[in-house]
Amino acid sequence: MTGAAARQTLRAVRVDARSLAAAGILVAGWEFLPRRGLLNPAYFPPASQVVAALAEGLSAGELLPHVAATVSRLLVAFFLAALPGLGVGVAMGLSGTVRRVADPYVALLYPIPKVALLPLMLILFGVGERAFVLTGALTAFFQIVVNTMDGIRQVDPTLVEVGRNYGATRFRLFWKVVLPAALPGILTGLRLGLGLTLVTVVAVEFAIAKSGLGHVVWGSWQTLTTPRMYAAFVAVGLLGLLLTRGLKRLQDRLLAWQTSVDVW
């Protein structure tokens, strides 16, 4: 492949050559440091072993159910949270009354790591999917509420004046002015919510679930099968990358009107 063709391919899959080079250096280091004995291979198995474990786990179907369990918990939690989160965030952003009523609760609950609420969920719902998923949903919910509210609060008041002076009804003021103006903040909330919910779901699996990538990590530690543990790490990482990349792409498409710069 010529250099130009390679660059073109990279552009097509939207991977920057610099990102690829950085990843290459990491993988190379991960491969050779344990092999040269500079890192203890019992704790840091070389990359090729991890990839082999991952490939085997996926092809033998042993890891696949765990990936599926994590993904389905994540998605159910996220969608359970998204609609009410957007609704509450919008209401708090638009109405001072709603904001003053709800703010103490949100301010209090938002910073609590939602994994810490798992025991409460277990008491309320018993050990099972409902408790796992709701714990994840709480993470996404508060993130989405906070970013949506801020996004709406930060809308340039002059644009609202434009809407009112140019005859927009309250309905159109919301749909045609406030919402598009707040969209960057709202989409950021969704993206962060999804990412953090993955963290919570994996932690919940780690702690108690009998399936999922978090569970694989825990199980591999107990049996000291480190390549399998790393394979699960990598799977979680790739999952996060895939999901947030997907949302980022949606965000870029929806927000093509925005400009951004690389400061350096």
Residue nearer to another protein on the CB measure, 59 or 169: 169
**Is residue 8 close enough to count as binding another protein by CB under 8 A?**
no
Q: Which stretch binds another protein (CB under 8 A): 13-21, 103-111, 202-210, 249-257?
A: 249-257
Residue span 92-131 as binding mask against another protein, x where in contact by CB under 8 A, dash where not: --x-x-----------------------------------
Q: For the chain, what's the residue count?
A: 264
Q: Which of 52, 168, 234, 239 binds another protein (CB under 8 A)?
A: 168
Q: What is the token pair recorded at 235?
A: 């799977």
Taking a C-beta distance cutoff of 8 angstroms, is the pair 121, 129 a contact?
Answer: no
Instruction: Report the nearest approach of another protein to the CB of residue 86 (Å).
Output: 18
Instruction: Report the nearest approach of another protein to the CB of residue 87 (Å).
Output: 18
Token pair 């699996």 is at which residue?
A: 205
Q: Which of 80, 86, 131, 178 binds another protein (CB under 8 A)?
A: 178
Angle at 203 between CA 149 and CA 242, to 5 degrees: 65
How many Å apart are CA 194 and CA 183, to the nearest integer? Answer: 16
Residue (of 149, 145, 150, 127) closest to 211 by Cα position: 127
User: In the chain, which residue ranges form alpha helices assigned H by DSSP?
Assistant: 3-12, 17-35, 47-59, 64-94, 96-109, 118-125, 129-153, 157-165, 170-172, 179-207, 213-223, 226-254
**Is residue 252 close enough to count as binding another protein by CB under 8 A?**
no
Alpha carbons within 13 angstroms on the beta-carbon side of residue 68 total 7
Q: Which of 16, 62, 156, 252 binds another protein (CB under 8 A)?
A: 156
Taking a C-beta distance cutoff of 8 angstroms, is the pair 80, 137 a contact?
Answer: yes
Residue nearer to another protein on the CB measure, 117 or 146: 146
Q: What is the token pair recorded at 244?
A: 């947030």
Residue nearer to another protein on the CB measure, 168 or 207: 168
Q: Which of 177, 187, 203, 204 binds another protein (CB under 8 A)?
A: 177
Q: Which of 259, 261, 263, 264 binds another protein (CB under 8 A)?
A: 259
Q: What is the token pair recorded at 39?
A: 């890192």
Distances (CA, A) of 50 to 9, 208, 211: 27, 25, 20
φ/ψ (deg, to 5) at 153: -65, -30
Instruction: Report the nearest approach of another protein to the CB of residue 97 (Å).
Output: 10
Q: What is the token pair recorded at 136?
A: 């994840």
Residue nearer to another protein on the CB measure, 59 or 97: 97
Q: Which of 39, 76, 109, 159 binds another protein (CB under 8 A)?
A: 159
**Is residue 262 close enough to count as binding another protein by CB under 8 A?**
no
Q: Which stretch binds another protein (CB under 8 A): 24-32, 128-136, 179-187, 217-225?
A: 179-187
Q: Which of 33, 76, 102, 160 binds another protein (CB under 8 A)?
A: 160
Q: Rule CB under 8 A: which residues touch another protein?
A: 94, 96, 152-153, 155-162, 164-169, 172, 176-178, 180-181, 183, 255-259
